[in-house]
Amino acid sequence: MRKTLITLALAALLCGVATCAAAEGARITTRGDFARAFEAHADALEPEFELSLSYAMLEDAKSGIDTWISDLHSNCGIQDFRYSFDDRRAVLRITDIEYRVAVRLAYAYRHGNVTLTAREQATLQKAASIVQAAPAGILERERYLHDTLCSLVTYYTDNEAYDEKDQAVGALLNGMADCDGYSEAFYLLCQMAGIPARFQHGDTYDKTDRADVTHMWNLVQINGAWLMVDVTWDDADSAGTNYYLYYNIGSLRAGDTHIWNGDVLTVSWAPEGGNAFRPAALAEQHAASEAQAEAIIRDAFIQRHADSVAFTYDAALAIGQDKDDPRLGSWVYPTGVLRFSWKTGGHSVAIIPTEWDTEYRIVSNDEEALSYVQYVNQAGLRTFSIYFAGDYGRQLFADNLAAFRRLEGEFGLENTEFHYSTEAQRITYSNASFITYFRVCRSDQEIRAWISELADRGVTNFALCVPGSYGEALFANKLSGLSAVLAGTRLASNPRLSYYTETQVVRVRDAQYWSALVTLPRYDMDRVLRQQLQARPDALAVVTDGTFSWNENALQQLGVSAHCQGVDTYSYIVDGSRVELHNIRYVSVPYGLVDTEEELLEYLRECRASGRTSFRLYCGQTLYEVMSANNFKRFLSVTSKILKNAKDLRYIGDYCMISMDNAKYVR
């Protein structure tokens, strides 16, 4: 038994010698090797470990260990630890290691052999629910984790409030965290989602005063490249808004605002990030000049109606180096933004409008412009602006605003005073007023319907716009087309009318209307006129039924028909398709308008009853032809029981008139 123990002790001693020899052969000789070895032990979640150093490294470490390890332990996810040196063995011993919560949670998720508190278990479950909802593709997956964290967490600065602010627990369960908490949560989500992630510890500085501030962010491996993600600085703390200034960027841009110790990096951080590592929706734009920066902003807020815009820029532009950089305002305000927040970093800028001008609208077509002006009118606004976007706006503002003035005619404005910026494609109206009675009419039928409505309401002042080629045709040849259309309405001739060729607007003042407008068919003119003239009006307006025009023959026929209805004299005005009969005077002797034999007899009975000795009968064409046949044989036969001396009658065939003086009646 004793021999066995001695043998075992000797074997152990021999093994120890071999172990030392092996350790001596693998001793750490550079700081890079030191960092990688340190991280390898931390990745295994070892509670303590030793690092064997070369004797030269041992002396170097003893004089500068605090500098070496201050960033390294944080990058490896170690919260706290103790260290000591074994000079005899040239070993650095790391003990009492306290790992970050996110590191332990990620390890537990992979291996499951870590004791967790109830809060930590709840955090792991919360993280798992987020990861399960993430898309499949790595670019979309990473963005989902980033955006979810931004929407879930609010930056918290009170160091005394609670002790979970610098943990994934505080970020995911409480929704409040500092930069450590943001970084822990993003690290945990990425690790669980299969995206390699690391912590990065360092300082940041403000561009204006370069004040250093201790900070933590993450490195993630996307498509083989290690890139920076700073969720804390990407979170704008407003729902649905993220900056993406520090999202998958390389060390060159990160160095613009972040400081880190390159000696402790355990991965090769790519110098450039960019669109190759972003989803298409997050593709970065780049401005090499102020004009390009302004164009990017206009495109975002005017063309795409975006809620925010971010882009990179050449270092020479130095956008935002001055906290009150006036250039930003000169680019943003012409898009209708009243107030905005912005953030710069890594040669990039993000702009987020916080208040828009409610009296300002960006439009991309005529329909949107007209809809907004209608809203302005209904809302009673007096000052408003419109930005006409893109190629649409450029077309409107070309040729001294010719196209815009055509569109403006459809606005229905009382006054047309405005200010405009051709460069910004913006129109601003001040103290605007609208015509009370206004309508856009695109056909003859619409004009006639509008004026009929106005006539019924007794409106005397109004305006209408006749846009496009239709309006051009109406305005041609001294408004001959418009006159022809108006002639088909109840609007009296020669109104106080003004027109504006630029806007194709017609204004009418002190309008007068006909109570009715009579439509005459050429081959039934007598009957229609007879119905209208029975009330003995002193004026009448008539229009053709479209089958004929008012040429000399038609006007002569109208005169005959009028005289057939007892009209003695009248004056007339021809206005397109309309003829207005004015100063109508009727024959002085009694007359009757008759279309049937019964009406003729009834009229003669009235004459007999009243003792009338002179009369005139204006017969309908058909009745006259029957009565006058064979020297009025039918007339004499029909009237024999009423008239004694019917043979003394006179007649005018052209007027279908039969008259008699000194009439004698059968009693």
Confidence (pLDDT) at 378:
93
* DSSP labels, 481-499: HHHHHHTTSSBPSS-EEEE
C-alpha 347/C-alpha 513 separation (Å) is 71
Confidence (pLDDT) at 23:
40
User: Percentage of the chain surpassing pLDDT 70?
Assistant: 93
Q: Give the three-state DSSP class for 127.
A: helix
Are 214 and 237 contacting, i.e. CB atoms less than 8 angstroms apart?
Answer: no
Confidence (pLDDT) at 518:
92
Q: What is the mean pLDDT of residues 636-641?
A: 90
Q: What is the mean pLDDT of residues 234-241?
A: 75
Tell me the two tokens of residue 213.
């501030």
Confidence (pLDDT) at 7:
31
Band (pLDDT 50/70/90 cuts) for residue 338 is: confident
Question: What's the length of the chain?
Answer: 667
Q: Which residues of 209-235 are buried (b: 16+ CB within 10 A; e: fewer)?
A: eeeeeebbbbbbbbeebbbbbbbbbbb
* DSSP labels, 13-41: HHHHHHHHHHHHHT-B-SHHHHHHHHHHH
Average pLDDT in the chain: 87
Residue 140 CB coordination number (10 Å): 15
More confident residue, 564 or 484: 484
- pLDDT, one tens digit per residue, over 190-225 is 999 999 999 998 888 764 454 567 899 999 999 999
Confidence (pLDDT) at 160:
56
Contacts of 333 (CB under 8 A, 6+ apart): none
Band (pLDDT 50/70/90 cuts) for residue 502 is: very high
Are 153 and 235 contacting, i.e. CB atoms less than 8 angstroms apart?
Answer: yes
Q: What is the mean pLDDT of residues 146-154?
A: 93
Are 341 and 236 contacting, i.e. CB atoms less than 8 angstroms apart?
Answer: yes
Q: What is the mean pLDDT of residues 510-531?
A: 89
Are 193 and 131 contacting, i.e. CB atoms less than 8 angstroms apart?
Answer: yes
Comparing 75-84, 461-470, 485-494, 647-656, the range with the smallest average pLDDT is 647-656
Confidence (pLDDT) at 13:
31
Q: CA dist 619 to 19, 81, 116, 650, Å? A: 140, 125, 115, 13
Tell me the two tokens of residue 481.
């087309």
C-alpha 489/C-alpha 452 separation (Å) is 7
Q: What is the mean pLDDT of residues 525-539?
A: 88
Helix (H) or strand (E) holding 285: strand 285-287
C-alpha 386/C-alpha 363 separation (Å) is 7
Are 413 and 435 contacting, i.e. CB atoms less than 8 angstroms apart?
Answer: yes
Confidence (pLDDT) at 3:
32
> Which residue, 308, 310, 300, 252, is CA-closest to 278?
310
The side-by-side arrangement of strands in the sheet containing 197-205 is 247-249, 225-229, 212-222, 197-205, 258-259
C-alpha 345/C-alpha 288 separation (Å) is 16
Q: What is the mean pLDDT of residues 523-552?
A: 89
Confidence (pLDDT) at 592:
85
Confidence (pLDDT) at 206:
60
Confidence (pLDDT) at 162:
61
Confidence (pLDDT) at 212:
65
Band (pLDDT 50/70/90 cuts) for residue 189 is: very high
Confidence (pLDDT) at 522:
87
- pLDDT, one tens digit per residue, over 100-137 is 999 999 999 999 888 899 999 999 999 999 999 999 99
User: Percentage of the chain surpassing pLDDT 90?
Assistant: 47
The answer, yes or no, to whether residue 296 has pLDDT greater than 90, is: yes
C-alpha 189/C-alpha 317 separation (Å) is 37
Comparing 153-162, 238-247, 405-414, the range with the smallest average pLDDT is 153-162
Residue 190 CB coordination number (10 Å): 26
Tell me the two tokens of residue 203.
């300082």
Could you tell me how far CA 557 lies from the centroid of its own chain?
Answer: 61
Q: CA dist 596 to 399, 557, 593, 603, 627, Å? A: 68, 22, 10, 11, 10
The answer, yes or no, to whether residue 161 has pLDDT greater than 80, is: no
> Which residue, 226, 240, 232, 291, is CA-closest to 257?
232
Which segment, 75-89, 184-198, 565-579, is predicted with the most confidence on average?
A: 184-198
Tell me the two tokens of residue 641.
């029981």
C-alpha 514/C-alpha 411 separation (Å) is 29
Confidence (pLDDT) at 19:
34
Backbone φ, ψ for residue 198 (5° rounding) = -140, 160
Confidence (pLDDT) at 327:
87
- pLDDT, one tens digit per residue, over 9-27 is 323 333 333 333 334 448 9
Band (pLDDT 50/70/90 cuts) for residue 311 is: very high
Confidence (pLDDT) at 429:
93
Confidence (pLDDT) at 20:
36
Q: Which residues of 402-423 are buried (b: 16+ CB within 10 A; e: fewer)?
A: ebbbbbbbbbbbeeeebebeee
Confidence (pLDDT) at 32:
85
More confident residue, 183 or 207: 183
Q: Angle, to 10 degrees, between the axis of helix 118-133 and the axis of helix 101-111?
A: 70
Are 249 and 273 contacting, i.e. CB atoms less than 8 angstroms apart?
Answer: yes
